[in-house]
A and B are shown apart, each in its own frame.
Chain A
Amino acid sequence: GAVVSQHPSWVICKSGTSVKIECRSLDFQATTMFWYRQFPKQSLMLMATSNEGSKATYEQGVEKDKFLINHASLTLSTLTVTSAHPEDSSFYICSASHPQGKRAFFGQGTRLTVV
């Protein structure tokens, strides 16, 4: 199956700093990628839709200035958590839509801990 890779798998950062998470589709080109957030023992909540070459579309309640998304190429989308605070600590997961069949393939997730 298609492979989507996230990096890093985990990161610890100090409050007030920014953290960048990368999502790459390794063996297919993805014009659309998605970013989700998951709190412990909870479901995945869609944060934003990332479209290659255009601005991301954010879900209601998600601060676009807080969570910066860049989709500069057909294989890479990045999520930058700016001025991170402890409440931003969560599991962030990306997915990419395969151009054939439009199935979504998920990355392995990134555990962010803000201290």
Chain B
Amino acid sequence: QQQVKQSPQSLIVQKGGISIINCAYENTAFDYFPWYQQFPGKGPALLIAIRPDVSEKKEGRFTISFNKSAKQFSLHIMDSQPGDSATYFCAASHGSSNTGKLIFGQGTTLQVKP
């Protein structure tokens, strides 16, 4: 019940295209859903995050769509660029005082072709 399932495992997108990564969770107590970007040999960096009281959040080229009833959320990267090539992790946590304790999805390796 603590798992966060992420798909696809890998994704190849042409430059300018839309990258879509999906995550699903079981624990309805989760109330914070961030997305992280990780480059090889580096720690993850927060991209964007959402709480269940909204269905969508957009920051620049990155959008999170959240479906509370389906317990699913997704990351959309618009106008994907080669510099976006990285591994992306969705995550979830619960408890407003403990958003650092994150349960991560399995990760998606994104390759954006020039």
Binary contact readout B79-101 vs A (1 if CB under 8 angstroms, 0 otherwise): 00000000001000000111111
Is the beta-carbon distance between A106 and B99 smaller than 8 angstroms? no
Binary contact readout B100-112 vs A (1 if CB under 8 angstroms, 0 otherwise): 1111111101000
How many residues on the A side are at the interface (Cβ–Cβ under 8 A)?
Answer: 27
Q: How far is the CA of A111 from the CA of B42 in the complex (A)?
A: 10
Secondary structure of the A contact surface, majority rule: strand
In the bound complex, residues from chain B placing their C-beta under 8 Å from that of A106 are 36, 43-46
Q: How far is the CA of A89 from the CA of B72 in the complex (A)?
A: 34
Q: How far is the CA of A65 from the CA of B43 in the complex (A)?
A: 25
Residue B41, interface by CB 8 Å: yes
Q: Which residue of A lies closest to B97 (CB)?
A: A102
Q: Which residue of B lies closest to A97 (CB)?
A: B100
Most buried by B among A43, A45, A106, A107: A43
Least distance between B105 CB and chain A CB atoms (Å): 7
| A-B contact list, 24 entries, CB within 8 Å | A6-B43, A32-B98, A34-B100, A41-B107, A41-B109, A43-B105, A44-B89, A44-B102, A44-B104, A95-B100, A95-B102, A96-B100, A97-B98, A97-B99, A102-B97, A102-B98, A103-B34, A103-B99, A104-B99, A104-B100, A106-B46, A108-B42, A109-B41, A111-B41
Please give me the 8 A-B residue pairs with the lowest Cβ-Cβ distance, nearest first. A97-B100, A104-B100, A106-B43, A102-B99, A109-B43, A43-B104, A108-B43, A44-B104
Interface residues of B (CB under 8 A from A): 34, 36, 41-46, 49, 89, 96-107, 109
